[in-house]
């Protein structure tokens, strides 16, 4: 008795709809991606003759001080100066090589800025930069 052999199915992958699937995936990721933007206080940066661009890294935290002397750390308003050192110290625990980027309005009170720098020294946040705008001559 002879047994009939089964014919083998072709081992091809249908690729006719592959481009449609790739396009839909790209479209899905474009629509669902959220870009974060800085929502700090509205400030006017002072102008400087010499500036140097720093690379924004994950170990950078932004401190905003506006002309009304309101303080914001990474888009969170700090109600009083006494809380400032605690917030910075908490960030230092998470990121020991923290760089504090001060974005101070040109009309802000310098005494407040000086006080905040002293508080950063107390909690050993010694890496500090100031944000400025380039002054065209």
Tell me the three state secondary structure of residue 77.
strand
Amino acid 41: pLDDT: 64
Ranges 46-50, 57-61, 62-66: which has the least confidence? 46-50
Number of H helices, E strands in the chain: 3, 7
List the chain domain ranges: 47-134
**What number of other Cβ atoms are within 10 A of residue 105's Cβ?**
20
Both structure tokens of 32: 């669902």
Tens of pLDDT, residues 10-55: 677 777 788 889 999 999 998 888 776 666 666 666 666 666 666 6
The answer, yes or no, to whether residue 137 has pLDDT greater than 60, is: no
Distance of CA 63 to the CA centre of its chain: 12
CATH number assigned to the domain with residue range 47-134, chosen from the 4 options 3.30.420.270, 3.30.428.10, 3.40.50.300, 3.40.50.11540: 3.30.420.270
The answer, yes or no, to whether residue 68 has pLDDT greater than 70, is: yes
Tell me the three state secondary structure of residue 100.
strand
Instruction: Answer whether 0.75 is exceeded by the pTM.
Output: no
Q: Where are the alpha helices (DSSP H) in 33-127?
A: 82-94, 110-122
């Amino acid at each position: 008795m002879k047994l009939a052999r089964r014919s083998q199915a072709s081992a091809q992958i249908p690729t006719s709809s592959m481009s449609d699937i790739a396009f839909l995936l790209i479209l899905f990721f474009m629509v669902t991606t959220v870009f974060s933007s800085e929502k700090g206080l509205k400030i006017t940066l002072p102008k400087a003759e010499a500036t140097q661009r720093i690379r924004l890294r994950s170990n950078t935290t932004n401190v905003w001080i506006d002309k009304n002397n309101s303080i914001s750390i990474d888009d969170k308003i700090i109600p009083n100066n006494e809380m400032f050192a605690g917030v910075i110290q908490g960030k230092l625990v998470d990121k020991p090589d923290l760089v504090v980027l001060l974005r101070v309005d040109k009309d802000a009170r310098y005494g407040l800025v000086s006080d905040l720098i002293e508080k950063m020294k107390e909690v050993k946040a010694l890496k500090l930069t100031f944000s400025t705008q380039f002054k065209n001559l």
